[in-house]
Amino acid sequence: MIHQSNAQEADYKSALDNINQDIKLEMSELSELRQMIANERPKLAEETEKIAAELRDKRRRSQLASQERDALIHDLSSLSSEVRLWREQSVYIENLLTDFRRNFEAQMSVAEADSMRSLMLSADKASDDGLDSKLKILENAVERINGLTSPSTFKGSALDNDGVMREGIFVEAGPVSWFVSEDKKIAGLTNTNKELRSQIIAGTATVDEVQKLGAGESTSIMLDPTMGMASALSESDGNIFDHIKKGGKWIFPILLIGSLALTAAFLKWLQLLRIRALRPARLRRVIDAIQKGDFQLAKSELGGKSNPASQALHRAIEMENNSSEDVEEALYEEY
């Protein structure tokens, strides 16, 4: 038993020694680990501070980026509003230019409108070319205002008295225009015919007068303030035989029918002249005689039957024994 107890004690001591050695070993490792941690702590603190600094910098940059984004959104909204306003102004200005182009063309003479026809048609296009053409029209209008103190000249074409199209030069002074052909054979005032073409009024100006006017030289030239109306009226003047000749073959049936109508109207007028009105005094005597029953006296007071009223009264007296309805019906059927 003693031997067994000693053996157990030896085992306990051996185990205790092992435990102490293990504890020392673990303590040594713990000490080394603590030393390692102590050695690593400055580096970790430095890295932690570095990471924290980077985090703070990134947060600051994020805030700056957010502020820049908000500023960009605000600027973009402002730019969008300005662009929308500019577009509205552009549409408004383009509409004004369109109205100006229409009014400007209406104020121009036919000859000047023909000379600018291509520019006018280009201005009707819904594109940048159309806008450029409208601006050119505006520039031409401004130049036209600056040149109102002197006649303006431009090339064009006009019809002569034979209906032949002549190429030449127009000279305009306000609403009045003259034309001289390229061959210098015809010149004169121009007006607009029914086909809205420029028509030369022959004999209203000479070639030399129109050329001097276009060159700005002093000259005396015919002016038609009626815009061709006086010339048209002068051409329409003539005697009755000239107008009959212009009427052609159809004028004779018209004259015949007119003569018959005039003759019938004259005869009817003579017939109406022969009718004498029934005077109130005579009518009063007729009524008094009828009321007394003296129908012969009433007829004698009426006299002849030339008057329609006398005829109706004669007929009524003859039907003295009939009812008023029969008399009224008979007079209605007869007259």
Give φ, ψ of 303 to 5 degrees. Answer: 75, -145
Higher per-residue confidence, 213 vs 237: 213
pTM of the model: 0.37
Could you give the 3-state DSSP secondary structure of residue 220?
coil
Domain ranges, ordered by start, for the chain: 118-237, 241-273, 275-334
Q: Which two tokens stand for residue 27?
A: 């303590």
- Sorted by sequence, the CB contacts under 8 Å of residue 255 that are 6+ apart come out as 244
Q: How many CA atoms lie within 13 A of 261 on its CB side?
A: 6
Separation CA 180–CA 168 (nearest Å)? 6
The pLDDT assigned to 322 comes to 62
Q: Are 286 and 313 in contact (CB under 8 A)?
A: yes
Q: What is the mean pLDDT of residues 167-179?
A: 82
Higher per-residue confidence, 315 vs 97: 97
Residue by residue, DSSP assigns 9-29 as HHHHHHHHHHHHHHHHHHHHH
The pLDDT assigned to 264 comes to 92
In this predicted model, what pLDDT tens digit does every residue of 47-105 receive, in sequence order? 888 898 888 989 998 899 888 888 888 888 889 889 999 888 888 888 888 888 888 77
Give CA 260 to chain center in angstroms: 53
The pLDDT assigned to 200 comes to 79
